[in-house]
Amino acid sequence: MNAGTAILLAAIPEGRVFGLDQQALISIGIQLFNAAVLAAVLAYVLYKPVRKFLRNRTERVSAQLGRAEGEMAKADELKGQYEQKLDDVEQERAGILEAAHRAAAEKSRQMLADAQGDAADTRDRALVDIQAERERAQEEIRRQIIEVASIMAEKYVTQAMDAATQDKLFAEAMAELEGAAWQE
């Protein structure tokens, strides 16, 4: 390689690095012509396929964007439906809670009314039982008073009176007891 470089350097006249002589200009002209021909051939050969490729790619991207927008719209619609269902569920939950509260309040009122009715019935029965017990007690006291009065009268009469007077007094006492009204 050093030998090739040395030969090229020997071909360049002394004192010049780059020479613009006729040979260099022809060489530059040929390279420019080759580049133009290559560009024209490539443009003619590749322009339509590249353009078609880019157009297809643009269409695919547009189609994908369209599908994405459609799916976004569908997702937004589903989101709206979901939110509507959530709102409906929330309203239904609130309605159920309200109905449960009303039912519980009504049941509470009903239970309170039943309890008050039962209490009133119990109180009435207790009053009736108390009245009956009072009457039984008064009747028992009357009987005991009669017994005690009879025993006392018998003892008094046996000590102080004869049999005829005793019979007369006994008949009068019995008549008075039968005619007397007992206080309640």
pLDDT tens per residue, range 35-78: 999 999 988 888 888 888 899 999 999 999 999 999 999 999 99
Backbone phi, then psi, for 19, in 5-degree steps?
-110, 130
pTM of the model: 0.38
CA–CA separation, 63 and 71 (whole Å) = 12
Task: Give the residue-averaged pLDDT of 157-176.
Answer: 74
Burial class of residue 68, CB neighbours in 10 A (0-12, 13-18, 19+): exposed
Place of tokens 């530059």: 28
Per residue in 10-40, pLDDT tens? Answer: 666 565 566 677 888 899 999 999 999 999 9
What is the SS3 assignment for 2? helix
Task: Give the residue-averaged pLDDT of 92-102.
Answer: 92
Angle at 33 between CA 32 and CA 39, to 5 degrees: 90
Listed in sequence order, the residues at least 6 apart from 135 whose beta carbon sits closer than 8 Å to its beta carbon are 184
The amino acid occupying position 175 is A
CA–CA separation, 106 and 100 (whole Å) = 10
> What's the mean per-residue pLDDT of the chain?
83
CA–CA separation, 169 and 175 (whole Å) = 10
b/e map 20-41, b = 16+ CB within 10 Å? eeeeeeeeeeeeeeeeeeeeee
* Reported confidence tier of residue 140, pLDDT bands at 50, 70, 90: confident
Listed in sequence order, the residues at least 6 apart from 177 whose beta carbon sits closer than 8 Å to its beta carbon are 146
CA–CA separation, 40 and 180 (whole Å) = 153
Identify whether the C-beta of residue 158 lies closer than 8 Å to the C-beta of residue 166: yes
Higher pLDDT among residues 17 and 104, named by residue:
104
